[in-house]
Structures are given as C-alpha cells and as structure tokens.
C-alpha cells in the first residue's frame, strides 16, 4: 500500500507541474470569471498547503504554518515559485509516507481532517483523491483559458 501511495502522489504532483508548465502565458494561471472562481495558480497553492499541512507536518514532522486564506486570495505568484514549492511538496510527501511502517498504517492519522478520527490509509486515500480532484480542475482551467 505504501509503495502504491508513493507512486501515485509523486506521479500526480508531477502532473500538476506539467499543467503549470503548459500554460503558454504565465498570467493565464491567475484568470477567473464569474463562473470559474478558482484560478489555476490558486488551485496549485491550495494543493501545496493541503499536502504540506497534512502529510508534511502530520507525518514527516516538517514545520509548516498553513495560510489557507492566501491559498485562494494570493495572485501573481511566479510560476517558478509554484514549481519550486511543488518540488518541496513532493519531497515532503515522499518523506512522510516513506517513513510509515506497517503498524503505523493501521493507526489513526495524527491530524483530524474531519470531525472524526480516521485511519491512516483512509486519510491518505482521501488526500490523494483531493489531489486528483483539483488536478482535474487545473487541467480544465488551463484548457479553458489557454486556447
């Protein structure tokens, strides 16, 4: 299970990087409309904040102070900064998951994500689903705004 999670998180975080690199104009990363409220840049910041909080801080014990409001309000963060933050996120996700042993996989996740405690594997699958959900939104955003 651990090896599969490592492969999937790394693969799809690299797909986030590929999407960011595919925008032909960096300014398009931050475009929104009345019906498309989250920019591609903000989706990326949100994924970084989410994974650095729950896997980075929760599992890898890496210090991180989440500023969730900025994940959705920040604008014009350079693409190079986003890509660097994604590389850091990949490293911390790999560290956090890699160090889990079989016994820990049976434990509850150390940080509550919902009102109730959840198991380690269920929570990691939840976080992976969250990543892929927003990856799909990012892909759609790029195709919609970068024609």
Please write the tens of the pLDDT for every residue from 48-66.
999 999 999 999 999 999 9
CB atoms within 10 A of CB 88: 15
CA geometry: angle at 89 spanning 87 and 91, to 5°?
70
CA geometry: angle at 20 spanning 17 and 24, to 5°?
140
Taking phi first (over 0 means left), then psi (-120 to 50 degrees means alpha), and beta for anything else, what does residue 112 get?
Answer: beta
How much is the mean pLDDT over the chain?
97
Element at 129 (helix H, strand E): helix 120-145
- pLDDT tier at 87 (50, 70, 90 boundaries)? very high
CATH number of 2-145: 1.20.120.450
> How far apart are alpha carbons 71 and 38 in whole angstroms?
10
Q: Is the pLDDT of residue 106 over 90?
A: yes
């Amino acid at each position: 299970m651990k090896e599969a999670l490592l492969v999937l998180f790394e693969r799809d975080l690299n797909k986030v990087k590929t999407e960011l690199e595919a925008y032909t104009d960096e300014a398009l990363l931050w475009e929104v409309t009345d019906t498309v409220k989250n920019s591609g840049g903000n989706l990326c910041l949100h994924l970084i904040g989410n994974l650095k909080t729950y896997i980075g801080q929760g599992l890898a014990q890496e210090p991180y102070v989440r500023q969730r409001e900025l994940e959705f309000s920040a604008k014009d963060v350079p693409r190079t900064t986003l890509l660097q933050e994604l590389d850091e996120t990949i490293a911390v996700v790999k560290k956090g998951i890699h160090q889990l042993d079989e016994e820990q996989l049976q434990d509850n996740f150390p940080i509550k994500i919902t009102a109730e405690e959840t198991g380690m594997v269920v929570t990691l699958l939840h976080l992976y689903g969250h990543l892929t959900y927003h990856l799909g939104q990012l892909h759609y955003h790029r195709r919609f705004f970068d024609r």
